Structure 1
Amino acid sequence: MAAINQASKFLSSSPSTSTSYCSYRSRDITRVSLQFPKIQAHNQSTFIPKIQSTKGFLLEEDQISQFSRITHSSPKNPTNPSSFPDHEVMEKLYVIMEAISDRVEMHKNIGEQRNNWNSLLLASINSITLSAATMAAIASAASAVPNAHLGVLKIASGFMYLAAMGMLVIMNKIQPSQLVEEQRNAARLFKQLQTELQTKMSIGNPTHGDVTIAMEKVLALDRAYPLPLLGAMLDKFPSKVEPAVWWPKQQRMSTKAKNGKNGWNAKLEEEMRELVKILEVKDKADYLRLGEKALKLHKGLAIAGPLLSGLGAIGSAFMLLFPHNPWAMVLGVIGGVVGTVVNSVQHGGQVGMVFEMYRSNAGFFMMMQESIESNLKERDVESRVNGEVFEMKVALQLGRSLSELRDVATSSSSSSQSEEFGSKLF
């Protein structure tokens, strides 16, 4: 605008308009007169003001192109309110995105804290247990020395065993390594939801239905991966392995049909049905089977650790009562050493984290099944997600190309004994 005013003043003060015009023509200057109509938007008062000039004004070509881009970027039908997103919907989505961002940070910070719990508690418990075993061994070796005051060592060893057992019971109850995996999954899924909402706000006009679905997804994630330890904490030793569920009931989004079929055809539907069978029989079943094995190992180690520490404490007590009893010496020393090994395998090897990973993977395949079945059950093809886009999304989630995805479905339909899994990603 400053350039426009300067050009107008220059023309007004010029002694010869024709001479000035010719000199500006030699510098590739073009005479134009622009007038922008008022643009009305739904629930908006924003408009581009009129630019009027009685004498006209001159603009250089780069300024002309800039104004041209502004006019061409405006809606084709500026008087149509549907051309603009609903401000109330956008405001609600931004509120949800702010909450999601906060949850990502909370899960990340709490995950780091619980990871520190796992390493620090394991180091402390092992140190206490080995110290108690060492005291028991010293007391046992020095029992033959006359007038040796070994009662203090035996009592201290017993108390240290009891302290280690109590700490281990608490650690096995909360399973810090498993909690870390839960927070890690929650942070990743909240980031995924945040990206999904950003895409929805960028390429389309969000509706109140999008707000409702986003709220349901946030609350479903909160239920699947709770932050508190007391009351809401997930059962770390369930009686049966169930896939993790972090999504609400499947919601189908209506899309515009392409050629009346919305990207779907009979071949694609059959391909998706075969994929559902593969994911159910192969992928999800395999991870549930592995989860059962990890759970059994998890339970066994969680019982063995405190039990061995308790046996060490009993051995130390018997050493005080029966100084020359060999079984008391064995329990007092071997119980602590073996208990340290068991604790290192369970918490150092993060068996709880492995169990949670298997459970989450099974949940991922269950979610894919429900998503595919939800689209196939919809009779109205126009109400489904676009078939070509949906096929590409499934292929990417399974770590396959489109041709590989079709080959897997074809081989499964032609041979009931196919050993190939649906996913190549994990």
Structure 2
Amino acid sequence: MASINQASKFLSSSPSTSYSSYMHRNITRASIQFPNIRVRDQSTDIPKIKSTKGFLVEEQISRFPKTPTDPRSFPDHEVMEKLYTIMEAISDRVEMHKNVGEQRNNWNSLLLTSINTITLAATTMVAIASAASVIPNAPLVPLNLASSFMFLAATAMLTIMNKIQPSQLVEEQRNAARLFKHLETEIQTKMSIGDPTHGDVTEGMEKVLALDRAYPLPLIGVMLEKFPSKVEPAVWWPKQRRMATKARSGQNGWSVKLEEEMREVVKILEVKDKADYLRLGEKALKLHKGLAVAGPLLTGLGAVGSVLMMLSPHNPWAMVLGVMGGAVGTVVNSVQHGGQVGMVFEMYRSNAGFFMMMQESIELNLEEKDVEFRENGEVFEMKVALQLGRSLSELRDVAASSSTHFEEFGSKLF
């Protein structure tokens, strides 16, 4: 009887309750089996980490302090804040130059279309008036008067357009936006891989202001001279200074062979690349000046011919002067502003400035006698090769061949 009661109590108990009790005992037993962890002292060194190849990975660890009181814990907060302020200003200038560049590109298109339309319409009126001069009592005065005013309007608009050169302004804003973006990337790199200093802040400020002077946004008072007496390379960088801190390695990646290679590169850039773009710039400037004078002169002659047609309707020379002046003036205007001769001149001037900046950068490193103050030689060689659009082997071959004769240009990009 007792056995039956025990069996009934067992059967009456809930299976879920028995299972829960069982799991609770097992979890309790497992939870109290803590691993034997030994807490390391915070002041002890961080253990070295090994990669899969067995090499020690200490590059990132060496950048952080071993103790919380190490002054190198974080970059200077004031320096970082100033660099971020400079980057915000640079980002704003990029947008400004892009927007102004688009606006001035619209100026070039609209002014070119408007002036050509006005000139052709005036030329057509002169031709119609000349053909209608054989008809007795034909109303020629309104046609000649309207064509004269249209020629004068086209001449005035073309003079203003030649003064400001919208296509050249567009190229200036395009270069400025590109160089400001490059400067922003340069500052971001310094903030990412190094400990920026107050010297980096000063250098960033100087570069921003140098770009503002080289590519001004306003037109009145500070606009760049569109027809200079002499072609000179564009300069958008401040005076370069040597590095303020020493490198860690003894030779810093430099060797006698690399120094000779860089000297030959400087010669190539001076004799071939920069000289060639200055020569092309002089030709473009001469064409630029000639077209700028010829366009308003021809439309002005068209206006004179139209006035002479009013005074002497049967004068064939007045008709030729009005029609040919307007037609040829339209062609000249299309070549100058449609072909964007001003933009081509600015491009040549900017390219010559780029090679001049490279020369100064190389010479600055070579003039520094202490190699520890120079940029790392291997990195600098790679930077020069990339800027010239060449591989390292091609750069060395060009430098070696230039010792006897200069046949090849340094740059393969432009």
**TM-score, structure 1 as length reference:** 0.84
Higher Cα radius of gyration: 2
What is aligned with 2:376? 386
What is aligned with 1:215? 205
Change (3 A) 1:199 1:348: same
What is aligned with 2:105? 115
- CA displacement, residues 17-76 of structure 1 (integer Å, 9 cap, x when unaligned): 861337xx7xxx9575768959xxxxxxxxxxxxxxxxxxxxxxxxxxxxxxx9999633
Q: CA deviation at 1:82?
A: 2.3
What is aligned with 1:339? 329
Q: CA deviation at 1:269?
A: 0.6
Equivalent of residue 85 in structure 1, options 75, 89, 101? 75
1:20 aligns with 2:8: no
Q: CA deviation at 1:83?
A: 3.5
1:159 aligns with 2:152: no
Equivalent of residue 286 in structure 1, options 272, 276, 280? 276
1:422 aligns with 2:414: no
Change (3 A) 1:72 1:361: closer
Q: CA deviation at 1:80?
A: 1.4
Structure-2 separation of matches of 1:109 and 1:30: 65
Equivalent of residue 128 in structure 1, options 118, 135, 144? 118
Uncovered stretches (5+) of structure 2, i.e. residues with no partner: 1-23, 44-59
Matched positions, count: 377
What is aligned with 2:253? 263
Runs of 4+ in structure 1 over 3 Å off: 14-18, 29-38, 70-78, 254-259
Structure-2 separation of matches of 1:258 and 1:401: 27
Structure-1 separation of matches of 2:408 and 2:394: 11
1:148 aligns with 2:158: no
Measured on the aligned residues, the alpha-carbon RMSD in Å equals 2.3
Change (3 A) 1:76 1:159: same
Structure-2 separation of matches of 1:34 and 1:79: 21
Kept in 2, the 8 Å contact 1:255–1:386? The answer is no
- CA displacement, residues 109-138 of structure 1 (integer Å, 9 cap, x when unaligned): 000000000000000000000000000000
What is aligned with 1:195? 185
What is aligned with 1:99? 89
Structure-2 separation of matches of 1:72 and 1:307: 72
**Counterpart AA for 1:199:** T
Kept in 1, the 8 Å contact 2:65–2:72? The answer is no
- CA displacement, residues 404-426 of structure 1 (integer Å, 9 cap, x when unaligned): 1111111111x1x3310110111
Q: CA deviation at 1:16?
A: 7.8
Structure-1 separation of matches of 2:331 and 2:183: 41
**Counterpart AA for 1:252:** R
Structure-2 separation of matches of 1:106 and 1:230: 17
Structure-2 separation of matches of 1:15 and 1:151: 116
**Counterpart AA for 2:399:** A
Task: Please show how residues 357-376 of structure 1 align to structure 2 within 5 Å.
Answer: 357-376=347-366
What is aligned with 1:351? 341
- CA displacement, residues 128-149 of structure 1 (integer Å, 9 cap, x when unaligned): 0000000000000000001101
Structure-2 separation of matches of 1:73 and 1:292: 52
Structure-1 separation of matches of 2:311 and 2:293: 27
- CA displacement, residues 324-371 of structure 1 (integer Å, 9 cap, x when unaligned): 111100011111010000000000000000000000000000000000
Equivalent of residue 182 in structure 1, options 153, 156, 172? 172
1:75 aligns with 2:62: no
Tell which deviates more after alignment, 262-271 or 189-198. Answer: 262-271
**Counterpart AA for 1:20:** A
Q: CA deviation at 1:254?
A: 4.1
